[in-house]
Chains A and B, each alone.
Chain A
Amino acid sequence: MLRYSTEFNPPAPVLDFIVYCPVDHGRAARVRGELDSGAEISVLPQEIVDALHLVPRRLMITEGYDGTQGQWATYMIDLEVEGYPVNDVEVIALPRKNGILDRDVLNCFTVTLDGKALSFEMMDP
């Protein structure tokens, strides 16, 4: 079982995952990311996109919880989450410290949140 991070208030399910450039898995970085079932697009810190020299693929319009819209470049990446590969994931880059794993990624797993115990589990069935 993985522990919720108490760096967030309230505590949140957060884990480390590995990001790979889709055409060269030698270009990889470890990222700390929040599980967010409310997100329809995954997010990487901008500095990771810069460091891996990822190539943008298209522009996407996103909408925040308050209806604010923004337009961002998207990138295709491969991921490794809890030892499981998740390929061809579309992400945007934002100037933030942590990543966000959206429903596209979460839907590849059986995710069990045990909020009372501040623990969670991600399994690939």
Chain B
Amino acid sequence: MRAGFFGRAEQEVFISMKQSKSVALKERGGYYALTIDETRLRQAPFTIERDGQPVAAVVPVDEYQEFMAWREHIAHTESPAKSTTLQQDALNALQKERAAFLRLKEQLLRTHSGQFVAILNGEIIDSDTDDRALTRRVYAEHGYVPIYIDEVTKEPPLRRILSPKRVVS
């Protein structure tokens, strides 16, 4: 028979197909022979335990292939690497808008001092004394994209995070 295997490699558990309908689990010094009922395998996965804890499961190979295809699909659509790249792209875009904010700052200090301004594509698209209302409005009008929204002040505001943490107790 053919079967797929899900297991935890770091536990040094090895499975080898000895013959049809049987599977051997070899663990360091031990060597065990197990029998698989193909009909039952079709109904539910065959679970292998060690010390009462499941460490692997055997499933029909077509189900295993379906799982691998699904995992491949997920990896391409929602991988952490992809999310990180999207976040980096967004930060790069924000930096460009911030550069425009800094370039315009002297002018803004004369015209918008104490207000919040929103900058997109290097241009001021909106301003308000209410930071939150401005943010909601520009996202609604221009989409949820990197728009630089900051307060026009001589010195950038500073926020403190004052709680020290114990690293070692």
Contacts and interface: CB of A to CB of B under 8 A. Distances in A.
Interface string B132-155: 100110011000111111100000
B157 interface: yes
Contacts of B53: none
B93 to A, nearest CB: 9
A40 B161 contact: yes
A58 B150 contact: yes
A105 interface: no
Contacts of B163: 36, 38-39, 65
* Secondary structure of the B contact surface, majority rule: mixed
Contacts, number: 92
Interface string A65-100: 110010001001000000000011000000000001
B90 A56 contact: yes
B91 interface: yes
B161 A43 contact: yes
A58 B149 contact: yes
Interface in B92-146: 94, 98, 132, 135-136, 139-140, 144-146
A17 to B, nearest CB: 18
Interface string A40-76: 1101000101110101111111111110010001001
A40 to B, nearest CB: 4
A55 B90 contact: yes
B159 A40 contact: yes
Interface of A: 9, 21-24, 36, 38-41, 43, 47, 49-51, 53, 55-66, 69, 73, 76, 87-88, 100
Interface of B: 80, 83-84, 86-87, 90-91, 94, 98, 132, 135-136, 139-140, 144-150, 156-164, 166, 169
A-B CB proximity, top 3 nearest:
A50-B83, A38-B162, A88-B132
